Amino acid sequence: MENFILILLAILIGYIIRRTNVFPQNASTILNQFVIYISLPAMILIQIPKLTFSIEAVIPIVIAWSVMIFSAILVLLASKFFNFSREVEGSLMLVTVLNNSSFLGIPIINAYMGETALPYVLVYDQLGTFIALATYGTFIASYYSSKSEVSFKIITFKILTFPPVWALVLALCLIGVEFNPTITKVLEGFAVTIVPLALVAVGLQLQLKLPKEDLKPFSVSLFIKLIIAPFIAFVICFIFGWDNLAADVSIMESAMAPMITAGAIASMAGLAPRLSSAIVGYGILFSFITTYIIYMLIS
């Protein structure tokens, strides 16, 4: 229970801070950068070495990419069916496909499943969602917007300069290694900051205004993201007979809210900024309900 109180309270604090202008306008960016550059790499270095090489470690990767591919296809089909504009379609291709597998995934899954589930969360996030953000996200933003150009060089640079990638590579090399207690405590000290800082940053970025004309694409996006996506993950697990912690974590991860960074990219690319922000904001709130229902179902 205390984990959920922390989640809701941290988001509420961030939202109140934004409404009262206590922090500077770029506060959410600074908090996210601290999490990305320090907190998340520390958690990766603590949790990933606990993994063992097995089929279980592959499950989150398979499900992450399968869910994203099918979600993208569904967005394209829905866009054609409802005749969405190119701008709206580009927005949905980002915020509906990419999910908040770390900033929300870590605290929510930790609350439901405990610390033993975190290595699978990080595999899902780093080898699934993040690589998709750096490659697919860059391509979509460039393809649907005339403001930027996509190239293999840009994509490669984004991947190689992302701090968690370096931490992941190092952590994979250290699988099975037991750290010195002092090193572990230092890393844990930085890692525990990921939850409060990331969630306050979420609250700082919440946008809850929803114009009537955006209702249809908004509904389509969250229906695919919060309901269809975990259903796809469940079907994949059923087909392959995966019934373990890695599978349960992957199903939960697939049900997380839209990625905040994806919404930011959509806005910067001029792809329905107002709609993108609303989908991310409401998606975070709705996901607390849907993830609870999904957890009860898979339990």
What is the pLDDT at residue 1? 60
Query: pLDDT tens for residues 177-196?
Result: 888 899 999 999 998 888 78
Domains of the chain: 2-298 (1.20.1530.20)
* Per-residue 3-state assignment (H helix, E strand, C coil) for 129-175: HHHHHHHHHHHHHHHHCCCCCCCHHHHHHHHHCCHHHHHHHHHHHCC
Residues of the chain with pLDDT under 50: none
DSSP 259: P
- The Cα 279–Cα 262 span in angstroms is 11
> Is residue 243 within a helix (H) or strand (E), and if so which, with residue range?
none
Q: Give SS3 for 113.
A: helix
**CA proximity to 252, closest of 284, 290, 196, 202:** 290
Which pLDDT value is given to residue 295?
94
Per-residue pLDDT, 266? 82
Please report the pLDDT score of residue 289 as a whole number. 92
pLDDT digit string (tens) for 270-291? Answer: 788 888 878 888 888 899 899 9
Q: To the nearest 10°, the Cα dihedral for 233, 237, 240, 245? A: 130
What would the pLDDT profile of 72-84 be if each residue is shown by its tens digit?
A: 999 999 999 999 9
Pull the structure tokens for residue 84. 């969405």
The pLDDT value recorded for residue 150 is 57
Q: What is the pLDDT of residue 291?
A: 94
